[in-house]
Structure 1
Amino acid sequence: MATKRDDRTLKVADVALDAKTGGLHSVFTYAATPQMKVGDAVAVPVGPRTALGFIVGLREVSQEELGFPASQLKGAQSTISGFALPQEVIQLVRHVTEEYLCPLPVAITAALPPGAHGLITRAWSVRADADRGCESTLAVHEREVLAMLKDLGKPLVEPRTKKLDPGLLRALKSLRNQGFVEDSIVADVPTESRRAGVLLKLTDDADKIERFLKANTRKRPAQALTLVRLQEIDHPALAASDIRALCGVTETTIRALTDAGLLTPLQQDASVATPAHTPNRHQAIAIDALIAAVESRSLQRFLLFGVTGSGKTEVYLRAAQSALKMGRQVLFLVPEIALASQAVSLLRERFGGRVALLHSDLTASQRIESWMSVRSGEAPVVIGARSAAFAPLSNLGLIVMDEEHEGSYKQEAAPRYHARSLGEALSRIHSCPIVFGSATPSVETFHEADEDKITLLSLPERAAKAQLPTVEIVDLREGFRTGQPSLFAPRFVERLRETLDRGEQAILFLNRRAYAPFLVCRDCGFQFKCPNCAVSLSYSKRTHRLRCHHCLYQTSAPEICPSCEGSRIRVFGVGTERVEDSIRELFPDARVARLDRDVAQKRGALEQVLAGFAAREIDILVGTQMVAKGLNFPHVTMVGVVAADISLNVPDFRATERTFQLLAQVAGRAGRGQSPGYVVIQTMNPDHPALQRVVEHDYLGLFEEERAERAAVRYPPFVRLVNVVLSGESRKDVESASSEAAQRIRRANAEATLLGPTDCAIERLNNRWRRHLLLKLNPQEPLNWVGQALAGFEPHGVQVVIDVDPNSLV
């Protein structure tokens, strides 16, 4: 006899737990209630425990589709009010899952309310349908607890840091079992307002600031550096939390500056906007175009291409103002919060307490308060680094991605997304424009603008008619031709001496720390390498130690070669420490300091060096990329690049582009005051296109050359890259796994261009061998087949990472 088919359907909710709580594949199905919505935060049973999850889908299923008896389908214990994610955020999470081939629980982790798990607790309340006539049957202590709950007038929330009295808890459970009270899982979030309210600004007494800097640079370096950073902002008006994030200081430092009268409170109503500057003609064109797109809710993409100091931020602010007038929200992405002081200040000045600054330097309570203020709509303007793309925004009207070329927009840990892709997805989800801004755009972005896929808006004029620095290339090969090779060419030394004679300051840049990149035995050629990584150990003369900058392994520098027992062990190459020593020998009367990660890790050293340089207590500052970003030193008129070839020789197809961007950024440190700037670049390759274009300040020329090269060898923007990296402690296992991964990919798509498997440029890191495969795909080609090809591929002892749009191939 045929079994009768059950055609009834059930409404179910797909609930995702974050990967840390439930694992990589923790999306479970529960019975849904009519009130549930996608994005709701729910407490769900997972085995014997209760976990926080988020509804990522609601659907109707038949008994057959469910796969097990409906009676076994569990329901959510409660919906957690206040923690719901907007449906638009869930759509973004799904985009990350599909576009970057990562499990949904991994993607949703980035969107969770800050510290969500630590805020979950239980609340007890009187049931509305309780049978009051039966209260007389309760024990005395139970009646007392029930009366206490009634008098309280609101749920009793269990403290998160302290357990309820055992007797009280027993009474509550008994009352629950008898139907008088009920318990629910809730979020115990702060209720006070996060609005900025009082903003702080520098005192108008410039002499007072100068006296403080001269007297306290060494004694109070954190306070001094805070003043220096705020001095470079036009009309700074910031909340205390903003200053902490931008300057990397504590509340104690801010309070001390306020008590000293160096920071003064500025009362400002959030609804009162500071008058905007009058835009120049190029700005006006850009502003009109962006406002038109905002008002028409257009999906249009823009590239705001403007030289440094051309007023891009004012264009952003005018468009943001238009979005806010329409009742919509604004997302302002920056590469690093610490380098966004001017943008944060202008947003605060223009929009006051309606701005939420999302960053990791806030306290736990401040982070959740900021998140809640965005979710509630109290703060419709959000500024932050790449993770701010996951802010709980439900009605975006404008997205800004400033300095869009910066590599820090790529997340290097799972989920490995690029903020650009997230911004474009948000533009589609919210039906709003997105604007990318840069003086040196990525080749991929400018290519799209050149192909009319992105609207190009140009700002060719610098504010205040400031002049770009003069750039000179110095050929280091001349020293070898004449038999007198030197770390510094005569022209380099001459320019530096002229700078010091004028009483001005100089920055010398070398993107390599330590004294030398390695030691070598002159007798047998033995090199001292890291036992955990396939790299040489860097030598520090100050500590006479060898160190690996990847795994941090270190050991004393030997006097005798372990291979041949020879004693002629010598340094090879140059680092910032060696540059510092050499400069001290050349200019014994000059005040010289060094700033790199080795120096900065010492408590207070970063603040002391930068504050001292700002106070003109230092004449020459030697440093790595740390000196290329951020601060504005008006008395710096020379920037010297000691060896430009280091970044040019990185085995990555973006090496030329990144060198140009880095050197353009370094050059921007010179001539920021009244005196003209001068940049001297030393190189063994003076004819390299990147260096020649830096001399001419010619981004367009570099772009055309780079694009032609990439077209010839099929690299972005003409293809999309997927880098599959395999690593493990056994080299044999990694080699075997990489071969199997290649076979899986080729079976899935024989037409795809697959390079490898081969060893990574650094084949071993932290005692793990590394190999990779590089896929070159059509830019618009769906990537799901790659994920399907490697689905379930979990070789023993080998980690497999799929990196879509990799930022580095090293």
Structure 2
Amino acid sequence: MSRIASVLIPMPLPEAFDYEAPEGMALAPGDQVAVPLGPRLMRGVVAAIRDGHGGNRPLKQVAERLDEPPLPPGALEFVQWAARYSVDAPGQPLAIALRGARAPKPKPVRMLEATGRAPGRTTPARTKVLEAATGPMTAADLARAAGVSAGVVKGLLDEGCLAERLVTEDAAFDPPDLARKGSELNASQAASAGALADMVRAGGFSVALLDGVTGSGKTEVYLEAAAAALAADPEAQVLILLPEIALTQAVIARVTHRFGARPGEWHSDVAPPARRRVWEAVASGTCRIVVGARSALFLPFRKLRLIVVDEEHDSSFKQEDGFIYQGRDLAVARGKIEGAAVVLASATPSLETLRNAEAGRYRWLRLSARHGTARLPDIELIDLKATPPEHGRWLSPPLVAAMAETYGRGEQTLLFLNRRGYAPLVLCRACGERMTAPDTDSWLVEHRYSGRLVCHLTGFSMPKPSACPHCGAKDSLVSIGPGVERVEEEARQLFPQARIAVFSSDTVFDAREARRLVEAMAAGDIDILVATQAAAKGHNFPKLTLVGVVDADLGLRGGDLRAAERTYQLLAQATGRAGRKDRPGRALLQTYAPEHPVMQALKAQDRDAFVEAEMAEREAAGLPPFGRLAAVIASGPDAAQLDAFTQAMAQAAPNTPGVEVYGPADAPLGLVRGRRRKRFLVRADRGVDLSAYMAAWRARVRPPGQIRVAIDIDPYSFL
């Protein structure tokens, strides 16, 4: 009889592997270990320990118990639950959970401190340095604090009056100051904050929808819930999830102001050493507040007591590649596992969340008015059939006139178009060829700033050619349709004196640049901001009084079941940027379909009517939130082999009441990176365990070596 450790390895492996625990090695679930896998030693996490025998062959032994923080029980259970729910290998979410642990440790910093030895020669500059050396400081910081040159500091170091030592920054974060008072709340905010605080103090798992119009002060409300959670337990931790990296800096600033301590920051732009520092501090419990993107859900919280999902409706919470998951849904699951409260905040909640609130599964708290003297903007529709833009332009006369009035008053305009680059399509006038990425059906997008054609799906880019690669015709390639760069070009022609900037992922490369642009806009240093959805939510610009939506119909194309919902949410968020302070705001939506229910609902600002109509359509079709969906995406380099496999897979689908399988069908993007793609869509009644059904179906088929199969529970993309 020996001790056997089941070890999860952060790779796409179907299950935990068994290893023998060496004599004298104390192991427990959650411990990080090094284990042999083939010729290599791999990092893994102990999932379970049991007494037993290894079977017919002797088990390999655990090589080492790593001197790293273990995954707490809640984090380990969450990783395993997420894999089962998403019908994926447990090593996939584990890799996300260990991302910080595998990051390099911060390098030691050379610090100086006073030794007490008097200098052989005393000068006023040297005296200033010794007086400033009250604790370990870098040479540059010490020289700056004393107001002297680096040479003075070096001279004292050479004489032995200062000593140098290497210091590794620890993982501790300043504790939140719970004595600080929050913002002044109006009656509606105070009532919601009180309800959330009571919910948090009661302990245990619960979910609340904080449903407030844009500018109603939802952030101030949920920060009071965070204060209640932190005050109720000295070890409690709080997680605030945001959909966009661009939003993190503004929320971090507000958290820092509220609690007098900077929270941990977690997203893809955080440098690996800083990421490790946050990971270790969360594991030790010294980082009590984290603000981050969806992957922060997998951090090793010791005592997570509150999860806030801000802009819970946002599709950016959906991870579309690698380990596929919906961050909002997994946040609720982690809250249940940890016994934590969950707050879902939005001005335009998802239909799934609204349905849960209507059914009483979630507590529903409403903020129906903007904070202070601000009021919702007036929304008007511009019928592009009646008042089209001039030939070769994209801004209609009514929108241009409104921009001129706004600029003349010294106020700001936001031109919103959720399309990056200069033009979404480049084609040849001579032969009609559409420029696409190699081995991919995706169109190449023209970017005038860089002079390149870019595939936003695969990342391929190339200089824009002078002749058509298909027919060879010179100067025949033309740009079709507008992107934000093209709208910026037109705005500069119309308002040459205006200060104009573009906010998109092509012009704002990291969180620092996003913060710089947001601060410039908030300070009034920009007159016209042309932006994608990166600037359409969560920002407060006091002088912004006009929002112009260049192509309001864009999101309604394509047949996606969530098209109407997402378009309404995105445009409501975009128009909600206007008039958030004491100046009245207005929004103009350019559309070819002013009669569309989404446009009419936006104009009337009648969300309830839109939701009621959309819910009725979904219920009649048995679609979410009244049914459930899953997608299967099969891909391979050989079209005939892929066809044969997907036909066999269709025959292998379990015959289960309440489940309908559609497909296989060619994916809209049928070719990506040289791989052909086929799709299935599965619709199930609410009472069906869809994850179990998909797992049973997957177990019935074995894809040939070159064919890959991905399962997407609750798909958001149908490409």
TM-score by length of 1: 0.74
1:429 counterpart = 2:406: no
1:28 counterpart = 2:18: yes
1:44 counterpart = 2:44: no
Aligned equivalent of 1:73: 59
1:404 counterpart = 2:312: yes
How much does 1:631 deviate? 4.5
Aligned equivalent of 2:157: none
Q: 2:406 is matched with which residue: 478, 499, 506?
A: 499
- Helix, strand or coil: the match of 1:331? strand
Aligned equivalent of 1:59: 50
Find the aligned partners of 1:75 and 1:521 in 2 and give their Cα distance: 64
Aligned equivalent of 2:445: 538
- Give CA deviations for 1:774-799 in whole Å, capped at 9, x if unaligned: 11122342222312322362223222
Aligned equivalent of 2:593: 685
Aligned equivalent of 2:666: 759
Task: Say if 1:101 and 1:462 are closer, same or farther in 2 by CA, change over 3 A.
Answer: same
1:676 counterpart = 2:676: no
Find the aligned partners of 2:448 and 2:60 in 1 and give their Cα distance: 65
1:295 counterpart = 2:286: no
Aligned equivalent of 1:224: none
How is 1:58-457 mapped onto 2 (pairs within 5 angstroms)? 58-61=49-52, 63=53, 66-68=54-56, 72-112=58-98, 114-116=100-102, 192-197=169-174, 270-271=176-177, 273-327=179-233, 328-353=236-261, 355-457=263-365
Aligned residue type for 1:493: V
Find the aligned partners of 1:570 and 1:355 in 2 and give their Cα distance: 49
Structure 1 gaps of 5+ residues are 1-8, 121-189, 198-268
Find the aligned partners of 1:675 and 1:797 in 2 and give their Cα distance: 60
Kept in 2: contact 1:515–1:576 (CA 8 A): yes
- Of 387-396 and 484-493, more deviation after overlay is shown by 484-493
- Give CA deviations for 1:231-290 in whole Å, capped at 9, x if unaligned: xxxxxxxxxxxxxxxxxxxxxxxxxxxxxxxxxxxxxx7445311234433233323333
Find the aligned partners of 2:172 and 2:477 in 1 and give their Cα distance: 62
How much does 1:525 deviate? 4.1
How much does 1:686 deviate? 0.5
Find the aligned partners of 1:598 and 1:432 in 2 and give their Cα distance: 38
Q: 2:6 is matched with which residue: 4, 7, 14?
A: 14
How much does 1:365 deviate? 3.3
- Helix, strand or coil: the match of 2:256? helix
Aligned residue type for 1:68: N
Aligned residue type for 1:341: Q
- Helix, strand or coil: the match of 1:494? helix
Task: Say if 1:479 and 1:420 are closer, same or farther in 2 by CA, change over 3 A.
Answer: closer
- Give CA deviations for 1:680-707 in whole Å, capped at 9, x if unaligned: 1101011112222222222222211211
How much does 1:380 deviate? 2.7
Kept in 2: contact 1:19–1:25 (CA 8 A): no
How much does 1:353 deviate? 4.5
- Give CA deviations for 1:440-498 in whole Å, capped at 9, x if unaligned: 11111001111222111111122113111111100011147x99896333222221222
Aligned equivalent of 1:773: 680
- Give CA deviations for 1:177-204 in whole Å, capped at 9, x if unaligned: xxxxxxxxxxxxx97543445xxxxxxx
Task: Say if 1:336 and 1:603 are closer, same or farther in 2 by CA, change over 3 A.
Answer: closer
How much does 1:292 deviate? 3.0
* The structure with more helix, counted as a fraction of residues: 1
Aligned equivalent of 1:650: 558
Task: Say if 1:402 and 1:484 are closer, same or farther in 2 by CA, change over 3 A.
Answer: closer
- Give CA deviations for 1:484-515 in whole Å, capped at 9, x if unaligned: 89633322222122222223332222222344
Find the aligned partners of 1:520 and 1:192 in 2 and give their Cα distance: 55
Task: Say if 1:537 and 1:394 are closer, same or farther in 2 by CA, change over 3 A.
Answer: closer
Find the aligned partners of 2:297 and 2:395 in 1 and give their Cα distance: 45
Find the aligned partners of 1:291 and 1:539 in 2 and give their Cα distance: 50
How much does 1:541 deviate? 5.6
- Of 36-45 and 516-525, more deviation after overlay is shown by 516-525
Aligned residue type for 2:583: S
Aligned residue type for 1:95: W
Task: Say if 1:763 and 1:324 are closer, same or farther in 2 by CA, change over 3 A.
Answer: same
Task: Say if 1:586 and 1:102 are closer, same or farther in 2 by CA, change over 3 A.
Answer: same
- Of 26-35 and 707-716, more deviation after overlay is shown by 26-35
Aligned equivalent of 1:789: 697
- Helix, strand or coil: the match of 2:643? helix
How much does 1:111 deviate? 1.4
How much does 1:804 deviate? 1.1
Aligned equivalent of 1:735: 643
- Of 599-608 and 691-700, more deviation after overlay is shown by 599-608
- Give CA deviations for 1:707-735 in whole Å, capped at 9, x if unaligned: 11211222211122111111222222332
Task: Say if 1:393 and 1:561 are closer, same or farther in 2 by CA, change over 3 A.
Answer: closer
Aligned equivalent of 2:114: none
How much does 1:659 deviate? 1.1
Task: Say if 1:609 and 1:440 are closer, same or farther in 2 by CA, change over 3 A.
Answer: closer
Higher-Rg member (1/2): 1
Aligned residue type for 1:12: I
RMSD: 3.3
Q: Percent identity?
A: 36
How many pairs align?
653
Task: Say if 1:578 and 1:771 are closer, same or farther in 2 by CA, change over 3 A.
Answer: same
Find the aligned partners of 1:527 and 1:105 in 2 and give their Cα distance: 41
- Helix, strand or coil: the match of 2:386? helix
Find the aligned partners of 1:607 and 1:73 in 2 and give their Cα distance: 53
Q: 1:581 is matched with which residue: 470, 485, 489?
A: 489
Find the aligned partners of 2:470 and 2:33 in 1 and give their Cα distance: 62
- Give CA deviations for 1:411-462 in whole Å, capped at 9, x if unaligned: 2233212222322222222223222111111111001111222111111122
Task: Say if 1:367 and 1:13 are closer, same or farther in 2 by CA, change over 3 A.
Answer: same
Find the aligned partners of 2:197 and 2:74 in 1 and give their Cα distance: 23
Find the aligned partners of 2:470 and 2:306 in 1 and give their Cα distance: 62
- Give CA deviations for 1:369-400 in whole Å, capped at 9, x if unaligned: 22222222222333322111122123232222
Task: Say if 1:435 and 1:583 are closer, same or farther in 2 by CA, change over 3 A.
Answer: closer
Task: Say if 1:483 and 1:501 are closer, same or farther in 2 by CA, change over 3 A.
Answer: closer
Kept in 1: contact 2:631–2:680 (CA 8 A): yes
Task: Say if 1:586 and 1:114 are closer, same or farther in 2 by CA, change over 3 A.
Answer: closer
- Give CA deviations for 1:509-568 in whole Å, capped at 9, x if unaligned: 222234433344556544344443213333456676544333324353445694596987
Q: 1:468 is matched with which residue: 358, 376, 400?
A: 376
Aligned residue type for 1:324: L
Aligned residue type for 1:301: V
Find the aligned partners of 1:547 and 1:478 in 2 and give their Cα distance: 34
Find the aligned partners of 2:513 and 2:37 in 1 and give their Cα distance: 49
Kept in 2: contact 1:39–1:87 (CA 8 A): yes
- Of 376-385 and 33-42, more deviation after overlay is shown by 33-42
- Helix, strand or coil: the match of 1:506? strand
Aligned equivalent of 2:125: none
1:704 counterpart = 2:704: no
- Of 575-584 and 387-396, more deviation after overlay is shown by 575-584
Aligned residue type for 2:171: R
Kept in 2: contact 1:293–1:432 (CA 8 A): no
